[in-house]
Amino acid sequence: MMKKKSIFASKASLVLFLCQMISALDVPLDSKLLEELSQPPTITRQSPKDYIVDPRENIVIQCEAKGKPPPSFSWTRNGTHFDIDKDAQVTMKPNSGTLVINIMNGGKAEAYEGVYQCTARNERGAAISNNIVIRPSRSPLWTKEKLEPNQVREGDSLVLHCRPPVGLPPPIIFWMDNAFQRLPQSERVSQGLNGDLYFSNVQPEDTREDYICYARFNHTQTIQQKQPISVKVFSMDSLNDTIAANLSDTDIYGAKPVTERQPVLLTPTGSTSTKVELRGNVLLLECIAAGLPTPVIRWIKEGGELPANRTFFENFKKTLKIIDVSEADSGNYKCIARNILGSTHHVISVTVKAAPYWITAPRNLVLSPGEDGTLICRANGNPKPNISWLANGVPIAIAPEDPSRKVDGDTIIFSHVQERSSAVYQCNASNEYGYLLANAFVNVLAEPPRILTPANKLYQVIADSPALLDCAYFGSPKPEIEWFKGVKGSILRGNEYVFHDNGTLEIPVAQKDSTGTYTCVARNELGKIQNEVQLEVKDPTMIIKQPEYKVIQRYGQVSFECIIKHDSTLLPTVIWLKDNGELPDDERFLVGKDNLTIMNVTDKDDGTYICIVNTTLDSVSASAVLTVVARPNPPFDLELTGQLERSVELSWIPGDENNSPITNFVIEYEDGLHEPGVWHYQTEVPGTQTTVQLKLSPYVNYSFRVIAVNEIGRSQPSEPSEQYLTKSANPDENPSNVQGIGSEPDNLVITWESLKGFQSNGPGLQYKVSWRQKDVDDEWTSVIVANVSKYIVSGTPTFVPYEIKVQALNDLGYAPEPSEVIGHSGEDLPMVAPGNVQVHVINSTLAKVHWDPVPLKTVRGHLQGYKVYYWKVQSLSRRSRRHVEKKILTFRGNKTFGMLPGLEPYSSYKLNVRVVNGKGEGPASPDKVFKTPEGVPSSPSFLKITNPTLDSLTLEWGSPTHPNGVLTSYILKFQPINNTHELGPLVEIRIPANESSLILKNLNYSTRYKFYFNAQTSVGSGSQITEEAVTIMDEAMASRQVDIATQGWFIGLMCAVALLILILLIVCFIRRNKGGKYPVKEKEDAHADPEIQPMKEDDGTFGEYSDAEDHKPLKKGSRTPSDRTVKKEDSDDSLVDYGEGVNGQFNEDGSFIGQYSGKKEKEPAEGNESSEAPSPVNAMNSFV
């Protein structure tokens, strides 16, 4: 605490004291606390200072106050005590200081005019109200006066005075006629601020007898009416007629015509005037001028600008209005009235004064015993206001002394206050324009700490946002506040917390670990109290998939997504807005859980769509723009300018592009003369261009239209332009595509493409057709034909060349000389057949034919080529004839040989040759016979294995479908396949060609064999067919093997063997991937005998296994039928299926790969899998 002796040492020490003084207590606005604490009175409601009342109603003078204990009220009237008990018309409302003066039951308002002041008092002080001036409203009648009619000459100025009665408050003035219609006002006729009606110049239409001024008194809701004023305007013409009627012919008469006059101010008068206005009020300045023509008013501020945003012009700029004026608005304002004859002006000097206004109003002080404080009352005004203090409504100079109080101008200083120092102080700031009165109490309290925040209050915040934990408190002296976290937590300190003066704890960035219980402790010298609050920190709400910008075509469907993530304990609500407003009430808008879908989109759906997610703690939003695009609207306002014979300029205005830029414009034209209703493409221009120079043809009645194009499509065509008919002219061009081709041997048909209508360039379109035989010294033969496209010349030699030309002409003349074309008269069939036909047989399926060309003169037309007719007579192996099917090969041009592919071996053929022209074929050459040699046969038609026994199998087969020669024998090869899928020795048997079955004996029992079977001619072996079969097992051996298989030692042995096989398979797989050869292949390489090598399918040569061949698919392949018969169409390389449906096949190099026992892994080349599951029996058989 500062020592008291330093307070009054000097002004400097006083300022230092004020800066260091302990701040006063703030009393929280807690209703329960306020009910318990003693408090001096405070005025809460009072009537206005200038209180104008309706004299017909009761007068209510308000005065409400609060305090503890509740205050009592008293009044003064005109500075003396007002004893309401002695006036039966006056009552005070219960628990209030409001006075009610009963006027409606006999009282008169005028009797209660005066200045009233209310005092509210309790044991801790007294507060006073403003001085309330009570005045009853007055609305007096107009004084009766005799009004002479106003007779005025046309063009003169006129002022109709209103002079309303003085009322309280002043009335509102307006002018009307007898029909209660407001009189029209303008720049020429207007009402001034004083209510007068000003005419800058009168006109004949101003003549009337019912100019009536009305005064409306709002308080009494009455309107007073002035007597009507009559105005009669004399025009110059009528005035001259009147004068002429009263004067003789010899008199000089005639009034002057209406003359124009320069402006003269009607109000204000003179060249200068002054105006005083109070700060904060509305400044109104007025200038009304007379003159003919009617003057125009302009306002300026000398040496400055009129204030922006606060300046307004009213009454046709005759009134300058500046709102909320301040001292800065003082200055000279000039109004200038001007017409064509000159100008005049008036300067109004404006001074802005100010009633007192607060800079710092005194505030209530709540102090503890022994504390210091200040009341400061600072106000400003023009002139500067005087400051005076009162204590409990009594001037402080005569108020009871208080040693803790010292007045220093606009400040009262309190030091070491005691409870008896409590009082209400009034500060009065006044000047000649008004006063301000403020009450401020000093309340000295001694109270232990109280915490006003509810116990265990729950606060919920979002992570990474501030958390504010309240600890509203009160105590006197002011308590100290401390915060703890948890039940046994230490006091909170550090930069991560902010401690506010009102007790609030702020956690600037709350985290999830900030959740918990916080304890607030308040203590002063009179006691201590604590309170706990709870804090929960929630995960923030996020939009994890925001709506995206969409461009959609009109009538399409669009969807905006808004997928959110939120704290599981918070319940979010999703709201969609369009352009910051609600979505349209339209069933096309479908709001889903995570999206907004708009069906059948229209142009009005264009805009910004906002997804707002709200929880009780936070809110997030995301937006996206929807752009609705469509084909452009059609262009309009087509205009033709610069019309010339061969060109015109077309311009247009583009239609709405519908959010998709126009890329180009397409211009089309209609020829109303030749093809009405048909529109043709003319040209197109870029979308930035709206004019184009168009080339025109003669003799066309043009109309144009324009089509706009954007990315969505083409607009509807515009309305057609006006028509433009171009002049006729000679044709510019001749027909195109002129040809001469005879349709008969003795004619020449001349054809051409006719000119289109607009190409004719004029009426009377015809064609001049000319022809002559080429290379013959003949004159041109010409004929003029109508607008056709063909002319036939008869009696021509067969197929001779002609020079031809076709020229267009019309009524104005010929087109330019046409170019010549070569044509031919009609063709006839060729006369002779090709000679010296020779055939060279290349192999069993291919032959080459030669012939001599025919002389060109005998062709009698355009040589197109030669046709070779050939057919098979019979097969030499079967000696049987069949239906003859002729084949034709065409060789274009002047060729003399050709190849005949696809022949059948060992067959007899015939052929002939014919020449071909545009008319057809000539005679055939004599038939030429040739034979094809033998070839290799096709595969046997089937191979079937039946009747399996212990040591034999029966084979049956069918002969080849195409023997292609004389069969010499059949070749059968076979080899066993063991359980390791290896192929055994290959055995070959040659069988006579006339046999169709064979029984193989001395085979191993229970063994699988693979068979290869093909036929032979003298040329070689044909394609082979393959099959597999198994000999049956001896039943006794099988029984013995089953018994062995049940022995434990055998089972263990088999497991060891299986493990060994698995290891070998893994090794083989690794070696195979490294490109090595399989053991089977190595064995094959070790044998020099080529018979056991697999044969290549294409050329019958022996091949070696290659890694590159491992994964090639079969060229041919099919599953063998259940009867184990291999048909002709089956693959020669495929293995037959085993009994359990296991597949097997050959690689392209002939090595066998496959799967047995249902296994999927591929085995080494030439190794074959068993068709049976690996069982002890099979394993035993493999060892036997």
- Residue 37 is encoded by which pair of tokens? 């604490």
| Residue 633: per-residue pLDDT | 95
- Residue 632 is encoded by which pair of tokens? 């452009």
Q: Which residue has the higher pLDDT, 1160 or 387?
A: 387
Instruction: Examine the pLDDT at 440 and tell me if it is beyond 70.
Output: yes
| Residue 879: per-residue pLDDT | 60
| Residue 1037: per-residue pLDDT | 52
| Residue 107: per-residue pLDDT | 78
For 1079-1103, write each residue's pLDDT tens digit.
Answer: 434 333 433 333 333 333 333 333 3
Overall average pLDDT of the 354-371 stretch: 93
Instruction: Examine the pLDDT at 531 and tell me if it is beyond 60.
Output: yes
For every residue of 544-610, DSSP letters joined together read EE----EEEETT--EEEE-EEE--TTS--EEEEEETTEEPPS-TTEEE-SSEEEE-S--GGG-EEEE
Instruction: Examine the pLDDT at 405 and tell me if it is beyond 50.
Output: yes
Q: What is the DSSP letter of 514?
A: G
Distance between CA atoms of 678 and 711, rounded to whole angstroms?
26
* Residues 549/560, Cβ–Cβ less than 8 Å: no
Overall average pLDDT of the 671-690 stretch: 93
Most confident of 294-298, 944-948, 962-966: 294-298
Q: Which residue has the higher pLDDT, 982 or 1142?
A: 982
Within the chain, how many helices (H) and strands (E) appear?
8, 87
Overall average pLDDT of the 26-44 stretch: 78
For 717-730, write each residue's pLDDT tens digit.
Answer: 999 999 999 999 99
- Residue 568 is encoded by which pair of tokens? 């599981």
Instruction: Examine the pLDDT at 1173 and tell me if it is beyond 50.
Output: no
| Residue 259: per-residue pLDDT | 84
Instruction: Examine the pLDDT at 1111 and tell me if it is beyond 50.
Output: no
For 231-268, write each residue's pLDDT tens digit.
Answer: 999 986 665 565 555 544 444 344 456 789 999 999 99
| Residue 595: per-residue pLDDT | 94
| Residue 257: per-residue pLDDT | 64
Backbone angles phi, psi at 65, to 5 degrees: -150, 160
Overall average pLDDT of the 1166-1172 stretch: 37
373, burial (CB in 10 Å: exposed 0-12, middle 13-18, buried 19+): buried
In 279-371, the DSSP E strands lie at 283-286, 288-292, 296-301, 311-314, 319-322, 331-339, 342-360, 365-367
For 951-998, write each residue's pLDDT tens digit.
Answer: 999 999 999 988 888 899 999 999 999 887 788 899 999 999 899 999
- Residue 1096 is encoded by which pair of tokens? 């290549």
* Residues 429/359, Cβ–Cβ less than 8 Å: no
For 908-944, write each residue's pLDDT tens digit.
Answer: 999 999 999 989 999 999 999 999 999 999 999 999 9
> In Å, how far from its chain's centre is CA 332?
58
What value does the mean pLDDT of the chain take? 85
Instruction: Examine the pLDDT at 300 and tell me if it is beyond 70.
Output: yes
For 71-128, write each residue's pLDDT tens digit.
Answer: 999 999 999 999 999 998 999 999 999 999 998 887 788 999 999 999 999 999 999 9
**Lowest mean per-residue pLDDT among 382-391, 449-458, 972-981:** 972-981
Instruction: Examine the pLDDT at 357 and tell me if it is beyond 90.
Output: yes
| Cα atoms in the Cβ-side hemisphere of radius 13 Å centred on 50 | 5
Residue appearing with tokens 């009305």: 214
Percent of the chain with pLDDT over 90: 69
Q: Which residue has the higher pLDDT, 1044 or 771?
A: 771
| Cα atoms in the Cβ-side hemisphere of radius 13 Å centred on 1181 | 24
| Residue 1156: per-residue pLDDT | 31
Task: Judge if the upstream peptide bond of residue 293 is cis by omega within 30 degrees of 0.
Answer: yes
Distance between CA atoms of 8 and 18, rounded to whole angstroms?
11
- pLDDT band of residue 1044 (cuts 50, 70, 90) is low
* Residues 510/461, Cβ–Cβ less than 8 Å: yes
Instruction: Examine the pLDDT at 1132 and tell me if it is beyond 80.
Output: no
| Residue 238: per-residue pLDDT | 63
Overall average pLDDT of the 542-556 stretch: 94
| Residue 1099: per-residue pLDDT | 39
- pLDDT band of residue 150 (cuts 50, 70, 90) is very high
| Residue 1071: per-residue pLDDT | 76
240, burial (CB in 10 Å: exposed 0-12, middle 13-18, buried 19+): middle
Distance between CA atoms of 83 and 836, rounded to whole angstroms?
160
Q: Which residue has the higher pLDDT, 1179 or 152?
A: 152
Instruction: Examine the pLDDT at 1058 and tell me if it is beyond 50.
Output: yes
For 779-805, write each residue's pLDDT tens digit.
Answer: 899 999 998 999 999 999 999 999 999
- pLDDT band of residue 25 (cuts 50, 70, 90) is low
Instruction: Examine the pLDDT at 679 and tell me if it is beyond 60.
Output: yes
